[in-house]
Amino acid sequence: MQNQTRLNHNSEETAYLVNNYPWGYTLKTKRKYWIETTTRGDRFVFQTLNPKTNKWCKPKKSTYSAVLALYIKDNGHVTYKGFNFGWSEIETINKFIDLIGGEDKLSAQQQKALKKARYIKKVQDSVTYEIKPADPVEESKKRVLQKRDLLKAKAELESQLGTQFPYVQIKQSSNLCESLHIYISLDEKNTWVNGYFRNSRTIRASIYPYSKQMQWVGEDLTGLYTLKINPSYKLRSSTIKTRDIKKGKTMDKVINSVVKQLKQYKELI
């Protein structure tokens, strides 16, 4: 048998059928293959007949590609060939078109996908970029200013939250992204089981002021040895969009949002 592509197997009804497909070590069955075409692209699909029940198993589907075609190897094995949006080179796309015998062999939906794939690759190939080293002096100044602002925010949060909760600890991180991490216990420290913070009713929140969108996220961490507290209540995330950061006083907005929501949480207990 020569290598060949099959384009007319595009549904379960028109599937390419293989007899004597192995099932386990001793049984033989049937398997059918086809290409499913949708507005999202093509998928390779196969379905096997269960010889014990004589019923077809659930179809198994690949991830989406731009355009696919069934491909029969010399040994009779069924696979597929095609190309993807944005990843396949123009040369690869053209080789596939030659393999199937021309664009007119494709369905209307597949021809649309072909045009889209060529257009995406053309745009990608026209994009140019240049990587320049950052100014170490400016980066150093920037980090110093960020740390200064975080220290002020840390002190402000400790001042406001310290009067609201039995235990408050705020840690400053300076890894890839300058951030503050807030740890709150709703129980006095001398009541923690085995003296562990996580063995109390706890709240954890983090502030990432220098991400693309200044934000803070909160999470309810119920203690391991205590009853759940209002499990339906979730601390929502608060985000300040990038365009607002340039207006200043954004750190104050985040701090006010954190304090307000944590107070609301406390009132629900």
79's tokens:
């696979």
pLDDT tens figures, 178-192 = 788 888 888 888 888
Give the tens place of pLDDT for each residue, 104-153.
999 999 999 999 999 999 999 898 888 877 777 777 777 777 788 788 88
Domain boundaries, the chain: 4-126, 138-268
Distance CA 71, CA 35 (A): 11
What's the whole-model pTM score?
0.52
Looking only at the bridges linking them, the beta strands covering 178-185 and 202-208 are: antiparallel
Measured CA distances, 50 to 30, 62, 98, 218 (Å):
8, 20, 37, 50
Q: Please give the Cα distance from 52 to 207 (Å, whole number).
A: 58
User: Where in 186-227 does DSSP place strands (E)?
Assistant: 202-208, 214-221
Look up residue 65 and give its DSSP letter: B
Q: How does pLDDT run across 139-156, given as a tens digit for each residue?
A: 777 777 778 878 888 888
> From the CA atom positions of the chain, what is the Rg in Å?
30
Cα 69 to Cα 97: distance, rounded to the nearest angstrom: 10
Query: Does position 244 have pLDDT exceeding 60, yes or no?
Result: no
Range scoring the smallest mean pLDDT among 23-27, 31-35, 57-61, 216-220: 216-220
Backbone φ and ψ for 212, nearest 5 degrees, come out as -60, -30
Backbone angles phi, psi at 158, to 5 degrees: -60, -40
**DSSP letter, residue 74:** T
Say whether 3 sits in a helix, a strand or coil: coil
